Amino acid sequence: MQTANNTPATISTPGVAPASDETTSEEPRGTSNRSTTPASSQFQDFIGSNWADRVDELPAPREQAAFAAGRRARLSAAFAGSRLVIPAGALKQRSNDTDYPYRAHSAFAHLTGWGADAEPDSILVLEPNNDGHDATLYFRERADRTSNEFYANPAIGEFWIGARPSLAQVAADLGLATAHIDAFETTDADRTVEKDAELTTFLSELRLVKDEYEIAQMRLAVDATARGFDDVIADFPRITTHTRGERAVEGVFYTRARLDGNAVGYDTIAASGPHACILHWTRNDGPVSPGDLMLLDAGVEVDSLYTADITRTLPANGRFTDVQRAVYEAVREAADAAFAIVRPGIIFRDVHAEAMKVIAKHTAAWGMLPVTAEKSLEPENQFHRRYMVHGTSHHLGIDVHDCAAARREMYHDGEVREGMVFTIEPGLYFQPDDLSVPAEFRGIGVRIEDDILVTATGAEDLSAGIPRTADEVEAWIRRLSPSTDG
């Protein structure tokens, strides 16, 4: 792809702006009216002197560096002759002069191997050459201690946010050529950046099949998430006595995410009682009352930014009622049926179709459908979907809904391949005011979600070690929280 003047076309991932031209010596937003930092040359000379020499030991390349290089090679082959720009993205303002915790754009992290420690406003550039591309990582190197950025800039100054890396350290760590971000801005100020959806689609589809490193990271994320679920159950005696027990659940799980990883991979859903019927309930401000089911949908994001996504539905007092158990086991049957067909060569949408057969069967048997299960499964009917309006599976990886920009023919209608990782998460949700269901079912919401790795001959449930059957869940709660009422 060449432009009319024979210079390489510039392609950038949509929705992620390259670094701005702001000077870092200026006061950050919202602080100039209250700053007390001395500005005299005498003070600057004093604070910039008498520092020990920096000892910059160069690290060995991190484990993911070689995998990231392989991904860049595939990208290079697909876009020969094009100049490719993949920004990490900037800090996002929360309010006034405070920002949200920083997380680099997933495509950038995937192609560089820079995870939770990535520098904001960094840019990966692939410049075309005769053999493919030269990759350079541009970022704002730490300031010299004689610069007022060092002590006066709370956004990036080391006095404020701690040690920042040098170009040489990052180059050694990631196995990438590095340059100061100012070099990118100077060189490219007169170039138009074309935001190309083709690049975004390619980078999304590049992640459909996970490599060895990614699969290992997914295992770590699942294991940490399992510990988070254990923590929540162990704290049930406190959780079930607080007026905002759902928030206590969220806090307990978040503690584990920060101890064993980077953060949570998405907002935790801690939904008790009828809140479990709200698919994306993240307000988490209700009680967890004995007798109710508590739906916990949560995942730990590890430092490489790969995340788990697991759901278990737990009886708050340690024991299912007969109706709760019937709904729970119906959902588990649907999950097991979907898992049973997973192997290379099937079509991704077939996983959902298999789960829906079970959902239709049970809702028909309970008298909730106006037709038979078989009739309901016909495309023009789908009455059973009233009680499960979401899909059964989505790809999982460095994003909780990974590969979201992939083409439908590669995703929903695509062929399942060895190395794919996706969820299986059927559910049943009977709204408390839904008159189409018997009264004893109203207000019950159940979801069971596992993270599935496609193998050469079938599939592995990465989260199978987290109790799944109703009997196992009750025993789990008795073991970790023996003081529950059940």
Task: Give pLDDT tens digits for 419-448.
Answer: 999 999 999 999 999 999 999 999 999 999
> What torsion do the CA atoms of 437, 388, 222, 72 make, to the nearest 10 degrees?
-170
Look up residue 148 and give its two tokens. 């007022």
Phi, psi of 93 (to 5 degrees): -70, 130
The whole-angstrom separation of Cα 177 and Cα 3 is 26
For residue 17, what pLDDT band results from cuts at 50, 70 and 90?
A: low
Does residue 214 surpass a pLDDT of 50?
yes
Selection from 420, 429, 418 nearest residue 388 by Cα: 429
Q: What is the pLDDT of residues 297-352, one digit of tens each?
A: 999 999 999 999 999 999 999 999 999 999 999 999 999 999 999 999 999 999 99
Mean pLDDT (whole number) for 144-167: 87
The DSSP-derived string for 253-294 is: HHHHHHHHSSEESS--EEEEGGGGGSTT-----S---TTSEE
For residue 22, what pLDDT band results from cuts at 50, 70 and 90?
A: very low
The whole-angstrom separation of Cα 327 and Cα 350 is 23
The whole-angstrom separation of Cα 236 and Cα 289 is 10
Look up residue 159 and give its two tokens. 């006095």
Q: Show the CA angle centred on residue 328, arms to residues 325 and 330, nearest 5°.
A: 110
Q: How much is the pLDDT for 275?
A: 98
**CATH architecture observed for domain 212-480:** Alpha-Beta Complex (3.90)
User: What is the model's pTM?
Assistant: 0.92
The whole-angstrom separation of Cα 227 and Cα 300 is 10
Q: Are strands 123-129 and 293-298 parallel, antiparallel or unpaired?
A: unpaired
Does residue 370 surpass a pLDDT of 70?
yes
Instruction: Answer whether 334's CB lies under 8 Å from 351's CB.
Output: no
Q: Where would I find the H helices in 61-189?
A: 64-78, 106-112, 149-152, 158-161, 167-174, 181-188
Does residue 25 surpass a pLDDT of 50?
no
Burial 269-289 (b: 16+ CB within 10 A, else e): bbbbbbbbbebebebbebbbe
Instruction: Answer whether 422's CB lies under 8 Å from 452's CB.
Output: yes
CATH fold, domain 10-205, is Creatine Amidinohydrolase; Chain A, domain 1 (3.40.350)
Mean pLDDT, the chain, rounded, equals 92
Instruction: Answer whether 215's CB lies under 8 Å from 419's CB.
Output: yes
Tell me how far the alpha carbon of residue 351 is from its chain's centroid: 22
Domain borders along the chain are: 10-205, 212-480
Instruction: Answer whether 410's CB lies under 8 Å from 342's CB.
Output: no
Mean pLDDT (whole number) for 449-462: 98
The Cα-based distances of 24 to 35, 49, 145, 206 in angstroms read 16, 20, 14, 35
Mean pLDDT (whole number) for 242-250: 98
Q: How much is the pLDDT for 186?
A: 53
Report the 10 Å Cβ neighbour count for 14: 13
Instruction: Answer whether 249's CB lies under 8 Å from 232's CB.
Output: yes
